[in-house]
Amino acid sequence: MSTASAVVIGPDGLARCPWGGLDTESGADYRVYHDTEWGHAVHGDDALFERICLEAFQSGLSWLTILRRREGFRTAFAGFSIAKVAAFDDADVERLLSDTGIIRNRAKITASIANARAAAELGPGELDALVWSFAPSPGRPAPRTAADVPAITPESTALAKELKRRGFRFVGPTTAYALMQACGLVNDHLADCHAR
């Protein structure tokens, strides 16, 4: 690990991870997400289902694109209620493909519906328990620079494999690690970041 810190000082004077401290118009959206959500523990089947879907939709795109359409996604996907999305049919797929408030990608839309059905096959609380069972043991050193933050880990690889085994789609090791970061299974805020 590097010994120099790579935090940036935001316009409010707080030290943040580089992506969360941008002094730009888009930086404001990132700052709010960085400070209030990313790395905070997320529990609950529907809440984790939302994050799985959003991370899959983000694949190949900027996270800012997803953040700015998040309310559109919530509306289009029935608040990410597993039971409601699992009941979506072909008419819902066509509705979603014409919804300008979301990313209109057929493969990602059908994967989200398939993922809801896979999650619905689990009992109440089981998606939460399953995801959190892959949280690494505490004690990992805090990253000092962005270069110290991995893109995948053995835990994310194992989580992706287990989710795929249970019928989930668009959940490779990189997406699974982004999920782990976003939902607080790992704390990848840099060592000197105020949010750590």
Instruction: List active site positions.
Output: 33, 55, 63
Q: Is 92 helix (H, G, I), strand (E, B) or coil?
A: helix
| Tokens describing residue 151 | 């893109």
DSSP 8-class letter at 89: -
Question: Alpha helices, DSSP H only, in 38-153?
Answer: 45-58, 63-68, 70-76, 82-86, 90-97, 106-120, 126-132
Cα–Cα separations (whole angstroms), residue 10 to 18, 32, 80, 167: 9, 12, 33, 42
Amino acid at 27: G
Residue pair 196/190 in contact (Cβ under 8 Å)? The answer is yes
- In whole angstroms, give the CA distance from residue 26 to residue 133: 34
